[in-house]
Structures are given as structure tokens and as C-alpha cells.
Amino acid sequence: MYSTRNLYLRCMAAVYLSAFSSFYVQIRGLYGPNGILPCHTRLNFQDKRHFFDKFWENPTLLYLAPAFGLTVSYCMELFALTGIILSFLGLVYQKVCNLFTFLTLWILYLSLYKVGQTFLYFQWDIMLLESGFITIIVAPIIYTKNRSTTPKDQICFWLVKWLLFRLMFASGVVKLTSKCSQWWGLSALPLHFESQCIPTPFSWYLYQLPIWFHKLSVVATYVIEIILPFLFFMPSRKLRLISCYGQILLQAAIIASGNYNFFNLLTLTFCISLMDDGHLSGSQKPIKSSRIESIFTGISVALLIYFTVLWFGIDFGKDVPVHSEIKFSVEEFETALKWAVPASIAIGVTSFVITACSSLYDLVFRSKSSLLMYLRNVLQFIVYFAMAFFLFGISLVPYSTLDQATQTSLPSFFNRWHSQSNQFHLTSSYGLFRSMTGVDGRPEVILEGAPHLEGPYTEIPFKYKPGHIEKASQFVVPHQPRLDWQMWFAALGTYHQNPWLVSLAYRILTNQTEVIHLLDSNIYNEFEEDWPPKYIKGSLYSYKYTFTPDGSIKGNWWKRTRVSDYLPIFKADHDPLIKYLENLKIIRSPDIPLTNTLLSSFLDKSWEICSATEPHIFIWGLLLSAFIVARLS
């Protein structure tokens, strides 16, 4: 597993590079002193407790900002820039992919997450923290050119497979446990393509496909997410590879149809845990398939096809090319889930024990090292086994929420371990696309500004989210425009539930450059001499894709209808607005002064250079540069 482990580590470095660089160019607009949610309000520098006491309660290194002579937002930039450099080096040089590098990357991202507030509270951020901690123990302590692996590698790398299982299985299950009529009717995909946070241009074309194809795609999604993950732990290598490429196919489809930043790249990285060195090298010699394995694989695939046809009523040649519908009831599914969740935990425990025993067997009977090296490997195995057992145990707590009976039957010490370490986000529950939104049209908040109270009001354009109906969506993976994402969530509620939106309106009215940088650069041309606006308001619109029977673009990408007012008219010197933001501590000077002018000047210049291009181009430039340097070195 030497090659698979090293490929996994390099890919994790690429994911970290994407995450840090995407976040870095947005820090000033989101968290600066004049940003939407200033980060200095999240830390109490009047607390005189020892640093380690504060860190244990709220683990972030940003408490050290005064030691660097920087404000908290500048220190965030320093940490993000350090993460970019370290992950770039890890992607270029394999020897940099060691325990100390990934420990540093994990602590830096955790430190940023702890002050990130609503703009950083996404499942993929939590998932990066969990997988990042697992990567710390997967990585070698010191990289050597010796292609042999240590006994601890198998059991540590197994945790990646278990994380992939929990992610996929839970993501499939919650679609059905939500009792969403679109998921149960297999009609969710057209809504998904239209109403997801930031569609890609390809989403419009997928939306035009016939409904029978969408329904069949939902069936494939259920099979890939709910059934195939159980093959991760099968003794058959062929079945593991079938399940692996099923996941890869799904992630590729999601990347093509939606902008989900580094989430899909991270999931693809997890899939490496299902491969082996022989498969990566294209050689079948290291592991020969026996006739029994081939028969077992054939029977398993045949059963998979049979039950898929049975459970989803797949039929050919009627009114549509392929007919499909769910043949089981909600009650039958809930009954099956009560069996499946504890069964999956039993499979996980069995696989964990077998992996640990296999590692121990290799250590005891196959080791040809010296006595000193043997003792070192034994000690290392004990330490890493304890860590793996701890991580596996606490992961069962959030995972078992899929079935209440299973959750209550867990050993109490797992729950205690989980609560005592929860501040470090070592594990979490997952489940994407639980229920569909935008059934009657995609809700969108449109902000408008004007030089006079009575108007005319001009739409304030965002970089990525739908706005002007003639504007096509962009492909921005692996960048996550966090403001545009939160605008999608804001449209699902009210501005009272999203106080950051009031702050955004105020920052636009006061023409804060760092915040304006997060918006469409064409904003000055649209407002001309009327920028910045003196008044701002928000309206709620319903967006729908235009539809053409032949699947070709003829005119606009969207059609929209105004639904209602959303944000009342605000003015920059409106006293209730200012008092509201003061109560939220958004309008407040930093608690610590900026004294390190040399370092801050360097950070200013770095930010200016890095933010000169579009963020997704900047990220792909870094990734491509790292790949070229790695190939040449």
C-alpha cells in the first residue's frame, strides 16, 4: 500500500491547497475590520487565562495574534498563506508529506474554522478537519525512500475507508428518511440542477433531459450511495474496485453539474483507500484473482442488478424507454434501516479487527528487522492502534444518529470520548441533499441600490450566483465563493435569520473596498457615477431555467418572477441600522493594535498579487504549477 498511501497524501495536499487558497482571497471581505463579520469579535483577548487553557476550550492559534503584532484578520491571512505554501510543497515533494506537515495544516485550518462563523460552517469544512486529522496518523513520521510500509499503515489507512463509507451511506439514507416527495418520486434531479447553490453551465443542459433519464439517475445515485458502500469491506478485490469506480463516477457527475468547491475532490481522495498498489501501477501480478473470487464477484453483481430492478421497478419498452419507481414503502425502508445501521457497524468492527490482526501478524511473523527496529514497530503499532480505536469509536456516535435504537445501545465511554473531544471536530455526521428546495422555483435574494429613496434602483451583481437572467453560470471548482453560497441560504429564510446580510448592505453603502471585491467587478459600470448607492433594498425572486425542447440556448438562461420584498430600504447613516450592527459587535474597532508593520506590508502585497485574478483561476494556477514542478523535479 506504499503507492496508494503516497497518492492519498499528495491528493490531500492538493485539497488543502484548494481550501486554503480559496479562503485566503476572501478573508478581508468576510472577516476584516470592515468586513461582513469581523473576526476580532470572536476572541476575548481580555481573558488572562493561560494560552493552553483557552486553546483547549476554543482550539485556535489566533490567540497568538498579539505575539505576531498583528490584528486577528491579518493573522488569519498569515495562517492561510502558510497553509498554501505548506500544501504546495507537499504536492510538489513527497518527502514533505509527513506527520508534521499535516499536523500543521490541520491546526491552521482548525484555527481558521473556529472564527469562521456562518461562512465556514459547511459539511466539507468539517469533513476536511476529520480527514485532515486522520491524515496526520496516515502520514509517515519521517519520509524515507524505502518502499516498505510499517505495520500501523493498514489500520490507519482503514479509517479513510470508514469515513468514505459513513459519508456515502448517510448521504443516500437521509434522502429517504427526510420523506421528501421529490426523492421518493425519483424526480429530484431537475429541481437539483435548477435550485442548487451555484450551478455550472452544464446544469442547464442536464435540466433539459427527459424525466425518465432523471429518474434512472436517481436510482443510480441510491445504488451508489446506499448499496455499493457495503462492498468497501468485501474480501473480493474486484468488488472493492467496482464500488470505488461507482463512487468516482458519481463524484465526476456532481463536479460537472454543480460547483461544490473542494468537496468532490476530497471525496475522490477518499476513494484511493479502495485501491491497491497493483491496481495503481496497472499490474495484476501482485494480486491474482482466483476462480472462487471471480464466481463470488459475478454472483454479487448479478444480485445487485436483480434487487435494483426489483426495488426500483425498472422496466423497459413501455411509454418511456426506461420506467422506474420505488417499490418499497417508507415503513419498509425504516425497518430495513433499523437492521442496516447496526449491521454496518458490525461489519465495520469486524473489518477493523481483521485489519488490526493482519497488521499484527505482519509485525510478528513477517518482520525481518533488527531487535531495536522490531521493538520500535511494536510500540508504534500500540500507539497508532489506540488512536485508530479512539477515532473509530467516537465516529460511531454521530453515525448512529441514523437509527435511534443503535445510538442508545452504544457503549457509554464512546459518547463520553466524543463529548470531551468535540471541540476539535475529529468526527461528524454527514448527509448531503437531505431534501429538495425550490419546488416552485429557485428563491434568490436580489439586492438593489439607488441614489435616491424613490429610485431608480439598479441590481447589485454578484460574481457567481444567479442574478441577471441572461448571464450564464460559471465553472469555479474548486473555489467556494462563500458569500454567494450564503446568499442562497438567506433566500430560504428571512433577513432576521441572517443578520450578516444587514452587515453586507451596510458595507456596500459605505463602499468598503474589501467587501466590494467579493462582488462582480462589473458593478462600477452598471452604477456609473451613482456608486456607491445611498439607498439599498432587497427583493425575493423566483428563478426557473428556460426550457427548449431541442435542448439549445435561445435567449436567456433564466426566467424570473418577483415574489416579495425581502430587505427593507437602508441608508448608511440610519441610526437603527447602526445601533443594530453595534449590538452585534460588527461595528467595533479591533481589540489589539497592529504593531508589526513590516509583516502587515508583506501580507498586503501578497493579498494584492493573489487577488489580482479570478479565485478559481488562481487556484488552478497553483495546482498546475505544483504538478509541473513535481514532474520536473
- Do the Cβ atoms of 450 and 508 come closer than 8 Å? no
Q: How many whole angstroms separate alpha carbon 483 and alpha carbon 518?
A: 7
Residues 414-431: tens digit of each pLDDT: 999 999 999 999 999 998
Neighbours of 325 (CB within 10 A): 13
pLDDT of residue 431: 87
How do the domains of the chain map onto residue ranges? 1-149+596-633, 186-280+288-325, 330-426, 442-595
pLDDT of residue 286: 43
Residue 105 predicted with pLDDT over 90: yes
Residue 292 predicted with pLDDT over 50: yes
Higher pLDDT among residues 358 and 103, named by residue? 103
Residue 266 predicted with pLDDT over 50: yes
Neighbours of 352 (CB within 10 A): 20
Residue 308 predicted with pLDDT over 90: yes
Q: How many whole angstroms separate alpha carbon 611 and alpha carbon 605?
A: 10
Neighbours of 399 (CB within 10 A): 27
Residue type at 61? Answer: L
Residues 433-467: tens digit of each pLDDT: 888 888 889 999 999 999 999 989 999 999 999 99
Residues 61/63/64/67 CA torsion (nearest 10 deg): 170
Average pLDDT over residues 160-181: 96
pLDDT of residue 147: 64
pLDDT of residue 374: 81
The pTM of the full predicted model, rounded to 2 decimals, is 0.95
User: Residue 161 is placed in which grid cell?
Assistant: 475507508
CA atoms within a 13 Å half-sphere pointing along the CA-CB vector of 81: 19
Average pLDDT over residues 525-540: 92
In Å, the largest CA–CA distance within the chain is 85
| Edge-to-edge order in the sheet of strand 535-545 | 458-459, 442-450, 535-545, 558-571
- Do the Cβ atoms of 115 and 134 come closer than 8 Å? no
pLDDT of residue 150: 72
DSSP letter, residue 258: B
On the question of a cis peptide bond just before residue 456, with omega within 30 degrees of 0, the verdict is yes
pLDDT of residue 148: 63
pLDDT of residue 564: 96
Residues 327-378: tens digit of each pLDDT: 999 999 999 999 999 999 999 999 999 999 988 888 877 767 778 888 888 8
- By CB atoms closer than 10 A (0-12, 13-18, 19+), residue 226 is buried
Confidence of residue 290 (pLDDT cuts 50, 70, 90): confident
DSSP-assigned letters across all residues of 509-537: HTT-HHHHTTB-TTHHHHHGGGPSPSEEE
Three-state secondary structure call for residue 165? helix
Average pLDDT over residues 227-240: 94
- Do the Cβ atoms of 463 and 172 come closer than 8 Å? no
pLDDT of residue 438: 83
Q: How many whole angstroms separate alpha carbon 231 and alpha carbon 237?
A: 10
Distance of CA 386 to CAs 155, 156, 362, 367, 380, Å?
10, 10, 18, 21, 10
Q: How many whole angstroms separate alpha carbon 297 and alpha carbon 460?
A: 57
pLDDT of residue 45: 87
Mean pLDDT of the chain: 92
pLDDT of residue 287: 47
Confidence of residue 503 (pLDDT cuts 50, 70, 90): very high
pLDDT of residue 407: 94
Confidence of residue 408 (pLDDT cuts 50, 70, 90): very high
pLDDT of residue 552: 59
